Amino acid sequence: MRTMLQLHGGQKNVSSEKEHDLENLESKAVKLALEWDYFDGVLPILEARQDKVLEIDKKTRETQNEIRKIENEIMKKEDENMTSRRMNEKKEDLRQVKS
């Protein structure tokens, strides 16, 4: 038994509706294969799904890392701005004292 993605040439640009339909068909195939104890037929489908889950997990981790980097850059800029404000306030205080 080949996975539905294999049957459709492993198309990457499948619309989300078609992808959902393929997943439904694969789910039905998995259910039937499990009922018939046809594990050789289920394995390719489950492996294909696992690959998809791992790919999504990898992209999620990459996105989280990018978000952390951006947050760190923002915090650094805020710290720099705060330091600059404090320095300007101290300079202004010194000017007032001298006057």
What are the structural domain ranges in the chain? 4-98
Q: Is 11 exposed, middle or buried (0-12, 13-18, 19+ CB in 10 A)?
A: exposed
Would you say residue 28 has pLDDT above 90?
A: no
Do 48 and 30 meet the contact criterion of CB atoms below 8 Å apart? Answer: no
| 3-state helix, strand and coil shares in percent for the chain, rounded to the nearest 5 | 85, 0, 15
pTM for the full model?
0.48
Do 48 and 5 meet the contact criterion of CB atoms below 8 Å apart? Answer: yes
Structure-model confidence comparison of residues 69 and 32, the more confident one: 69
With cut-offs at 50, 70 and 90, classify the pLDDT of residue 56: very high
Of all residues in the chain, the percent with pLDDT exceeding 90 is 34
> Poorest-confidence range of 5-19, 37-51, 57-71?
5-19
Q: How much is the mean pLDDT over the chain?
A: 82
